A and B are shown apart, each in its own frame.
Chain A
Amino acid sequence: MTVTFQLNGDRCRFHDDPMTPLLDVLRQEKFLTGAKAVCREGFCGACTVHVDGEPVMSCLKPVGLVSGCSVTTIEGLSSGDQTLHPLQAAFEAADVVQCGMCFPGMVMSLSAFVRDNPEATRPEIKTAMSGNICRCTGYERIIDAVADHLEAQKSGRQAKETAHV
């Protein structure tokens, strides 16, 4: 069977078993190895990609179900020499990365979270991370970086709003 979908803005066709996990299509067919296969059970989030703008676990997503959808991977979030996504920049500046295996998924998951929850509190950030495991960092500094990023966005917005008055 042939499945057609948008992949990082380009049309992508896949001819094979529609029950192939999207993750395997990305890694093995498209050599987009940013999404990681860690647990393949929906628990760790290392394979997170956006399907129509929403973060989902690509290990449990049969490619047949993304037919006609738009898929964005970590490679598509800020490609080429484009600047980093602000959250990536925040993670870099705060020196939170260790082995790094969880981070592509962490970024895909949390970039959507901060988009949708600009007012999130620290406990809400933690709850949002229940599907993103990190074995190295112990999380707290990631959470600090997300909270700081939200704070910075808020003051940026406020500054803009006052400027408009």
Chain B
Amino acid sequence: MSETLSETAPELSATVMDLPRRDARDKLRGRTRYTVDRVRPDMLHAVLLRSNVPAGRIVKLDVEAARNAPGVRAIATGHDAPGLYGIGIADHPLLAIDTVRYHGEPIIAIAAETEAEARAALALVELEIEPLAPVLTMAEALAKNARLVHEGWRDYEVLTEGGAREGNIAWEARTTRGDVDAAFARPDVKIVETTIRVGRQSHAPFEPRTAIGSWENGRAHIETSTQVPWTVRNVTGRVLQLPPGRVRVTVPPVGGGFGLKFDATIEPITALLARMTGRTVVIENTRQEEMATCLCRENAEILIRSAVTADGEIAGREAVVLMDCGAYGGEQIFLSTMTAHTLGGNYRVGAMRLVSRAVYTNTPPNGAFRACNGVYNTFALERHTDEICQALGFDPLAFRKKNVLGDGDLGATGQVFEGDVLGPMLERMDGLRAVTGTAEDKADGRLYGRATTVGTWFVFVGPSAATINMNADGSATLVTSGVEIGSGTMMQSLPQIVAGQLGLTPDQVVVREADTDSAGLDVGVGGGRTTVSIGAASIGAADEVRNKLFGFASELLQTRPEELELVGGRVAIKGRPGSGIAISTVVQHAQTVSGPITGTGSFTGKPVPSMSGCAFGHMIEALEIPVFVVHEAEVAVDPDTGHVEVLAYRVVQDVGRALNRRAIMGQIQGGVVQGLGYALHEAVTISVDGRIREDGFETYRLPLAGDVVPVVADLYEGAPSSGPLGTKGAGEVPILGVAAAIGCAVANATGKQVRELPLTPPRVLGLLKGRETAPEFPHIAASFEANTLA
């Protein structure tokens, strides 16, 4: 626990700077070796035989011919790794055993001298699957008498207690605060209902999931492109039925993650094959495999209903959120918790009840994606808010200013918000717009729309550990399990924080590549938590180092430790820069007297508890650090073709404290553009045989340079944060509000209710021509209670 800084902690100003990244030059020169660049000729290549039906029973699996094929060194089947893994519930085998549950599910893995030989051997496997009628949609999964995706769901080991589950409902999380029935029954309210349907989003990180496994001294060593080395270690241990300590995971620079690499997938297979062959084994997903089995942002169906008075008070709100987890529970089980904080955020609401259900289907499993769950819940909430305004005749901006969460307001789980943040941020957006002006003139005869929306996110802090080793030259080596996934946290923010604490320059802080053997537990890079958790742990480690340095220096300088500070690479006497003694000298001295100077720090957030009786089936108590955004979009809609052009985009983002403005601006531009992709271009659809149809860049349309605009952003500082130096994660949230702002702007431009995403030209033209109707959900019951298992 080290989130309280010691008395002698250096000033914040020592940490704030717009530094370029240390990894940029090698990346620009093509010298950085991502995992995918580390394939050597002496490695075996493994390929996976995948199911070509969405549901079925394996009735025949004969690998003899494949085993004898040229170059083949090993074949692994599900029986070689019988352990099940998962988040919340252990429902997921590494390789399908007896039953296949999605198109693309791996069944066996073949390791051979070359990839071509491995593929040739795949063709020799005799596999017969007796197909079962697939359950492809949540409507089918929730229908009466629906076939169960997991017949044996009752037998699974439950890893986290508390969620209700039954049949195709993998998990249910519920929130109830206040008397919602009474609020809806009030005579002075009008009830507004909105239905929303959103599709999946594929991360498309440029480096596909790739893992290299070897077996060294009786232990597995996996080098992999992951955001979660500790999860990979633990899952590998689980499925191979090894103590997790027998697995070591190291992580080279990661070529993009965005949440996709937040779960173990192919890694344990490489370890298994390495154990079988004694050789190093690589699995590299082809782009087609990567996209066809992408752990996408889940498709979701949402019904939200509010009781609002004529003067704009939101008396009650209830919502049902169905999240498609695909064939296995995975992240969605955890993410069902988030609805309370994303859909339950933004506004002051009298009474509220929310249920979110992770639903099994025979489709590729979904996963985590930047601002998970929040992106579509914010879209739903903001569209619903605009529909309320329309129904009751309120000005949307004024309604928001009146109703956004402020100091002392309650969240859905009874958590109390501190400080007025969203209100002042909305004012700042007005200010920003006054400076930039609007872009209506660029609409050029097309339909013009503008919308301002708000969003609430919470940083899930979780445990992290850090060690700092001081070197004889006065530099520091920072050892953590943090992974550089491209956002710059490990390469930019942490060295900056540590350098600020130790009076060094950031280039004097060496960052050790993540290695589960050398650093302690970390829950992974995502959710905006890295700067917060690893940052706090690093500050803790720096505290210890600083105290040790002061201890030795005070002897050498005959000065009391309280009178010392670390600045300019020296232990100096306070207020007299250049005085004192070089840090390197102190470190060298310490080495001869009592050994090297090191410091360790660890951190975990203190959960703000839910009000009792509010939360059911939530995986975590509450998310510690709220982060708010205000987004504003201006669009032009082509009435002939349905094309939406974004004319201008503005963001006011709550960053707590900006340590490197330029880097945050880069995250905002990148995150907003990913959000534009989600809102406008990136469609994932499932074929009748359960495949993801958009499995390449030809069909999955990522935004191109011509599709984007420069985002104008104002960083809002000073909101309460328990993060180190007052920071909050800045990389996760920029995507949060984009679909909401774009969806509302398109609705304003067209005068049509926008209820589905993405807003591709055919969908928007369909809206304009009356071809699109509001989604109807026969599988969501009219009464709230009928949608819960409780």
Are A and B close enough to touch in the complex, i.e. CB under 8 Å? yes
Interface residues of chain A, those whose CB is within 8 Å of chain B, are 27-28, 32-41, 43-44, 46, 73-75, 77-78, 84, 88, 91-93, 95-104, 107, 125-127, 129-130, 132-133, 135-144
Interface residues of B in 613-641 (CB under 8 A from A): none
- Give the chain A neighbours of B205 by CB distance below 8 A: 99, 101, 135
**B560 interface residue, CB < 8 Å from A?**
no
DSSP class of B's interface residues: helix, strand, loop or mixed? loop
Inter-chain contact A40/B256, CB cutoff 8 Å: no
Inter-chain contact B669/A135, CB cutoff 8 Å: no
Give B39's nearest chain A residue, CB to CB. A28
Interface residues of chain B, those whose CB is within 8 Å of chain A, are 18-21, 23-25, 27-34, 36-37, 39, 203-207, 253-256, 258, 286-287, 485-488, 662-663, 665-666, 669-674, 696-698, 702-706, 708-711
Inter-chain contact A136/B711, CB cutoff 8 Å: no
Q: A33-B33, A136-B486, A139-B705 are in contact. Are A99 and B24 (CB under 8 A)?
A: no
Q: A92-B28, A95-B24 are in contact. Are A101 and B34 (CB under 8 A)?
A: yes
User: Which of B21, B673, B674, B705 sits near A143, CB closer than 8 Å?
Assistant: B705
- Give the chain B neighbours of A93 by CB distance below 8 A: 20
Inter-chain CA distance A12–B37, complex, in Å, is 21
A102 to chain B, nearest CB (A): 6
Q: A92-B20, A97-B21 are in contact. Are A38 and B287 (CB under 8 A)?
A: yes
- Give the chain A neighbours of B206 by CB distance below 8 A: 36, 38, 44, 46, 99, 101-102, 135-136
Inter-chain contact B711/A138, CB cutoff 8 Å: yes
Instruction: From B19, B21, B24, B203, name the one whose CB has the most chain A CB atoms within 10 angstroms.
Output: B24
Inter-chain CA distance A27–B486, complex, in Å, is 22
- Give the chain B neighbours of A144 by CB distance below 8 A: 710
Give A139's nearest chain B residue, CB to CB. B705
Inter-chain contact B207/A75, CB cutoff 8 Å: no
- Give the chain A neighbours of B663 by CB distance below 8 A: 95
Inter-chain CA distance A133–B27, complex, in Å, is 16
Inter-chain contact B28/A97, CB cutoff 8 Å: yes
User: Which of B31, B671, B672, B697 sits near A133, CB closer than 8 Å?
Assistant: B697
Inter-chain CA distance A27–B256, complex, in Å, is 20
Inter-chain CA distance A127–B24, complex, in Å, is 25
- Give the chain A neighbours of B18 by CB distance below 8 A: 95
User: Which of B256, B488, B672 sits near A135, CB closer than 8 Å?
Assistant: B256
- Give the chain B neighbours of A95 by CB distance below 8 A: 18-21, 24, 662-663, 666
A89 to chain B, nearest CB (A): 9
- Give the chain A neighbours of B28 by CB distance below 8 A: 84, 88, 91-92, 97, 100, 103-104, 107
Inter-chain CA distance A59–B670, complex, in Å, is 26
Inter-chain CA distance A91–B696, complex, in Å, is 28
12 new A-B contacts, CB < 8 A, other than A43-B697, A97-B21, are A37-B36, A75-B29, A91-B24, A92-B28, A97-B23, A99-B255, A101-B256, A126-B705, A127-B706, A135-B702, A136-B486, A137-B670
Give B677's nearest chain A residue, CB to CB. A135
Instruction: From A28, A135, A139, A141, name the one whose CB has the most chain B CB atoms within 10 angstroms.
Output: A135
- Give the chain B neighbours of A138 by CB distance below 8 A: 669-674, 703, 708, 711
- Give the chain A neighbours of B255 by CB distance below 8 A: 36, 99-101
